[in-house]
Structure 1
Amino acid sequence: MLPAWPCIVTYPYNKYVLVIINKSYISLVTALLAWLLWTPCIGQKKYEREFSIKSDAVPQAAADFVSSVFKKSKIHWYGEESLTGKSIEAKLKYAGRRYSIEFDESGNIQDVEILSGINEMQPDSREKLKENLNKEFSHYKIVKTQLHWKGPVEALKESVIQNIAAKGVMTRYELVLKGSKDKTETYYEVLAEENGIIVSVHEIVQRNTDNLIF
């Protein structure tokens, strides 16, 4: 009979090691691994490094999208490195609004972000977001708010041209804020739904200070 507590017993056998493991121990480990896999990540950090790149280093698909939508705009191109990979970003001003358009390394569009303000949210949603931020932080100050559009390329084009999210485009709000948690103050990136529900909170490890505002 195997012992009641987890144990490993080894026996030499033809130059190999025969390992007998308590079945109860296996069940315990399996349950623990399952719990870890299903538990949401808490206190994640976000590392980003942005650097200027020349227009001739930009993928053609990305250049074509920007030129087809934003007419006669001065475009600033950036490369970005993060924990999840590399991307290309175009920053520009168009029709009185500041845009950031992110592409993957091949030039496929990822999302469109527009410098906005928390006051542009619906009143009920804005109050819900503030309520959730107060639960998340002991103190915070919003540095930047962006409207975040994600969807098919043609729908994103239509959204920019019409200045409103087209059908098939998911709208969220991305906030950069300076917040306090456990008596520690630093910068965070918060992603929230239109209704004010917080989707994610990431501590910003590194990001160019001037790009926090653009």
Structure 2
Amino acid sequence: MKYSIIFFLVFVSFSFSQTKNEKEERIKAYEFPEIPLDYFNTISSNVKYLKFYRETDGTKKSFEAKFKYNKQHYSVEFDTIGNLEDIEIVIRKKDIPKTVLMNISKHFDDKFEKARFIKIQKQFINTTPKTDKQFLDYILKKPNNKHTHFEIIAEIKTKEHHQLRELTFDKDGTFEKSRIVTSASYEHALY
């Protein structure tokens, strides 16, 4: 009995950690962390549709700026004190290099009966000695430079499930992680 309870608790906690249940709330610029807000003041004349958001997923809070720059849709995420977490750019399936797309497609073919890509993003995480501001400026100037990950929201079907999932692959198309996207997260995940 004791082991059954322990197994159940581990299973439940693992299940919850694998679900994307974010809530996103649009906020005014003055509610955004001050340091990264200044980053956008220097590029605001070239940015369209700049909007600020506060995100919570139950345990983690973050801030996100979304905008269009040079015909590309960006989302830039910061932690609560203003440190850059990642930069994402929405892309199309045809923008993924062929060999990388083959690796990603193989994962989908092996794991799911059917899959439909809803949103694809290339993701940049600053692993360089550049400051957050320098890294953001660098990516804005060179969005086709090397990125670190692909993040794909897909509608998938297995024998047991029909669900939305967010899957992360490294730059070579090797699968890293997956989590279910809840309906509450679905709306804002599409931009």
Within a 5 Å distance, the mapping from 1:5-154 to structure 2 comes to 44-73=18-47, 74-151=49-126, 152=130, 153=132, 154=134
SS at match of 2:35: helix
The alpha-carbon distance between structure 1 residues 77 and 176, as it changes in their structure 2 partners (threshold 3 A), is: same
Contact kept? 2:123, 2:149, Cα under 8 Å:
yes
Contact in 2 for aligned 1:148/1:174 (Cα 8 Å): yes
Aligned to 2:135: 155
1:191–1:165 distance in 2 versus 1, CA, 3 Å:
same
Q: Secondary structure at the match of 1:124?
A: helix
Could you tell me the TM-score, scaled by structure 2's length?
A: 0.81
Q: 1:58 to 1:165 in 2, by over 3 A?
A: same
Unaligned ranges ≥5, structure 1:
1-28
Conserved? CA contact 1:172–1:194, under 8 Å: yes
Q: Secondary structure at the match of 1:211?
A: helix
CA distance in 2, matches of 1:75, 1:115: 15
The secondary structure found in structure 1 opposite 2:148 is: strand
Structure 2's unaligned 5+ residue stretches are none
Structure 1 residue 72: deviation in Å? 3.7
Counterpart check, 1:199 vs 2:176: yes
Once the two structures are superposed, residues 64-85 of structure 1 have per-residue CA deviations (whole angstroms, 9 ceiling, x without a partner) of 1223345342311111001441
Quickly say closer, same or farther: Cα 1:46–1:209, change in 2 above 3 A. Answer: closer
CA separation in 2, counterparts of 1:155 and 1:54? 24
> Partner letter of residue 53 of structure 1?
I
Please report how far the alpha carbon of residue 206 of structure 1 lies from its aligned counterpart in structure 2 after TM superposition: 4.1
1:161 to 1:70, Cα distance in 2 relative to 1, 3 A: farther
Amino acid at match of 1:60: E
Shift of the 213–46 alpha-carbon distance from structure 1 to 2, 3 Å rule, reads: closer
Q: Deviations over 1:108-127 (max 9, x none)?
A: 11100001012211111111
Cα distance between partner residues in 2 of 1:206 and 1:85: 19
Instruction: Find out whether 1:165 has 2:139 as its counterpart.
Output: no
Q: Which has more helix, going by share of residues?
A: 2
Mapping 1:168-187, distance limit 5 Å: 170-187=147-164
Percent sequence identity is 21
Are the aligned partners of 1:165 and 1:171 in contact in 2 as well (CA < 8 Å)?
Answer: no
Rg: which structure is higher?
Answer: 1
